[in-house]
Amino acid sequence: MEDLKGKITISKVTSNIEPDFISITIVEAKSRCKAIEAKLSFENFTKALTGQGHIDCDLVFNDSGVIGKTREIKHEIIPRPESYKDLVDDNINKGNYQCVLALQALQIDGWEVRRSDIDNFYNWVGSDKVKVLFIRYI
């Protein structure tokens, strides 16, 4: 078993869809990904906090395979498509050919683009380019 470093957060979550609950989240340091989340009712959280053991909770595990890996990021400037919707399907018939080619050339060796950057005007560089974030785990 490997020893990993992480950060823990305890939050009160309120919702009008489901009953309010306490969320205990552990984020693994190298990958910066949520490794596990435990959800407890207020009553069960109070029991656990005051020393009672074996309290029921709902668990969510991250089984994506990135826990323990190092997260790397890079920014690249690519041609900006006319619309994000056209790019989602890699539609090269809508005048986005240069953008799709740039993405395909940069998504190698495990690098994945954060596509929401493409349509965020804060990332635009001039009128025809956009700065996008690429992430990979090694």
What confidence tens digit (pLDDT) does each residue in 95-120 have? 456 676 777 788 889 898 888 887 78
Tokens representing 103 are 């993405």
The pLDDT value recorded for residue 90 is 52
Per-residue tokens: 33: 């990904």
pTM of the predicted model, to two decimals? 0.66
- For the chain of 138 residues, list the mean pLDDT of each consecutive stretch of 10: 90 93 95 94 95 94 89 89 56 57 82 83 85 92
Annotate 116-134 with DSSP letters as a single string: GGTT-GGGEETTTEEEEEE
Handedness of CA 77, 79, 80, 85 (dihedral sign): negative
The end-to-end CA distance of the chain, in Å, is 19
DSSP 70: P
CB 75 within 8 A of CB 134: yes
